[in-house]
Amino acid sequence: GSWWLSMLFLNNYQILDKFCAGWTWYLSVDMQCFLVIPILAVLYKANRIVAYVALALTYCGCLASFFWVGYHYKMNTFSLADPSYTEWYMRAYTRAPTYLIGVFMGFVYLEYYNARIKGGDDSLVWRVTKIVRRSRITRFCLYAVGITFICLAIFGDYPNIKNPKDFSRNENVFFGVLSRSTFVVGFTLLFLPNLFGVTNFFSDLIGGRLWTIPARVVYATYLVHPMMLDLYVFSTQTYVAYTSTWVLYAVGAFVTMAFATGCIFSLAVEVPFMNMEKTFLLPAKKPQKESSKN
């Protein structure tokens, strides 16, 4: 493969046969989406309305590009066997809509945080915050709609999985384009009350100390998990019977091995480089002066 494409975070536009560590295409997508944030942040600081309009236009433009690519290449949401799947599966403009929803929620949280520091204001975000925090019915509706959206995104493709011919071309394209955004919107609605300061089961679940170590090694785990899969697949000398028991066993084994290997990789590589960065690149903290006693 062309190593310089990986160095420039452009390998998601590389020919699939020339990939080296093919799963790293998502790192390029993540970097390309990240480069949009400084532009939107500058617009937000200058004029919030302009920033929201630019964000909405970018989101709609990415969806329109996704629709066009889906129709042009006759997208099948379940099959990755078609070589053209890289055009709608690995491109930044097809992955950006969900990322932009996250940027939008970042702006919303910033407005909520600023309003909370001021003790409240007349902004739309603060008015919505008060409704969500005071009304159990509103929170219940958010939970119900959020779970419904998540289930639609996960199980909406079930007929196509059972029989790929059950989905028409239009259904394939619409589900492929909108399913990711549907899942992210559902997830956002599910945890929106927690974002606005409501404490409940969900906030305890996602904020528990149980996730501290996995959160620190998840990046390294992502980098090594395909190697665990390849090691198993290319070492298997017999056909695999895909039963529910085998799937549960395989998922548990792969997750355990991936996190264990990711933990070793993180301690051996990631943590030392982070410490070097703190030592040589970040400015040293000034010692605090002791207050003089009268």
Rounded CA Rg of the chain: 23
Chain mean position to CA 48: 24
Cβ-contact 257, 228 below 8 angstroms: yes
Q: What is the per-residue pLDDT across 212-250, written as a single tens digit (0 to 9) for each?
A: 888 888 888 888 888 888 888 888 888 888 888 888 988
Q: What is the per-residue pLDDT across 240-265, written as a single tens digit (0 to 9) for each?
A: 888 888 889 888 998 998 899 888 98
Mean pLDDT (the chain) is: 85
Helix, strand, or coil here: 230? Answer: helix
Cβ-contact 22, 16 below 8 angstroms: yes
d(CA 150, CA 147) in angstroms, rounded, equals 5
Cβ-contact 217, 263 below 8 angstroms: yes
Query: How many beta carbons lie within 10 A of that of residue 229, not counting itself?
Result: 14
The pTM (predicted TM-score) of the whole model is 0.84
